[in-house]
Amino acid sequence: AQKVTQAQTEISVVEKEDVTLDCVYETRDTTYYLFWYKQPPSGELVFLIRRNSFDEQNEISGRYSWNFQKSTSSFNFTITASQVVDSAVYFCALSEARNNDMRFGAGTRLTVKP
Amino acid sequence: DAGVIQSPRHEVTEMGQEVTLRCKPISGHNSLFWYRQTMMRGLELLIYFNNNVPIDDSGMPEDRFSAKMPNASFSTLKIQPSEPRDSAVYFCASSFKQGGVNTEAFFGQGTRLTVV
């Protein structure tokens, strides 16, 4: 079965700092999908990005960017110029194309201090 | 679309009672997931359905847990009898899967279950 590891349990930064959240995955499938979700203090789970295994192109969306590297089985998430509103728990997840069970990592709690 | 709708939002029940959580997926989605979130175990996948058929229920912790999806617009997760260790937030999510493509799942607001 697939596995997602988010080694950073908690990260604390000061506003305007850049921060990178790490995600390492394991799968035996050649076709798979990677995701990032945000869970703010209010508790809902908000979808941020989906990447398929054939698309290693990095993506940037405003202050958010994602670096997908198959060679190291990593899908890292960087927030540039962090803001207090970025404080949340961030989850990385993976699903394999042959089934559809999306498995989550343990999450990284990001605290951005003013 | 209103998104994934879960009910109730909060449930407090006594140990031994039956609890039923409800979920209405996004219209047009053909995959539905039930997750449980606790501090100790994080987000656990309990069961998921494709086209109303349960595909993998290996995450269901015990026989006390059961899930059904009688049609494309409704699913239930039942716990009978409930125990204090079942206290958690239960999320339902839905997505669209076709031809080997797994799209992102959208989550409901969750049901916070407290068993006393």
Other Cβ atoms within 10 Å of A106 Cβ, number: 17
pLDDT > 70 fraction of chain A, expressed in percent and rounded = 100
Q: Mind listing the pLDDT tens digit for each residue in B45-56?
A: 999 999 999 999
Q: Can you give the pLDDT at residue A45?
A: 97
In Å, how far is B6's CA from the nearest CA of chain A?
12
**How is residue A61 annotated by DSSP?**
E
Residues of B whose CB is below 8 A from A41? none
Q: Mind listing the pLDDT tens digit for each residue in A24-78?
A: 999 999 999 999 999 999 999 999 999 999 988 888 899 999 999 999 999 999 9
Q: Among A5, A45, A104, which would you mutate to test the B interface (most chain B Cβ atoms within 10 Å of its Cβ)?
A: A45
Handedness of CA B44, A94, A41, A46 (dihedral sign): negative
Residue B69 tokens read as 């999806």
Q: Can you give the pLDDT at residue A42?
A: 94
Q: Mean of the pLDDT values across residues A67-95?
A: 96
Q: Give the residue from chain A lying closest to B106, CA to CA.
A: A47
Give the SS3 label for residue B50: strand
Q: Among A38, A75, A101, A104, which would you mutate to test the B interface (most chain B Cβ atoms within 10 Å of its Cβ)?
A: A101
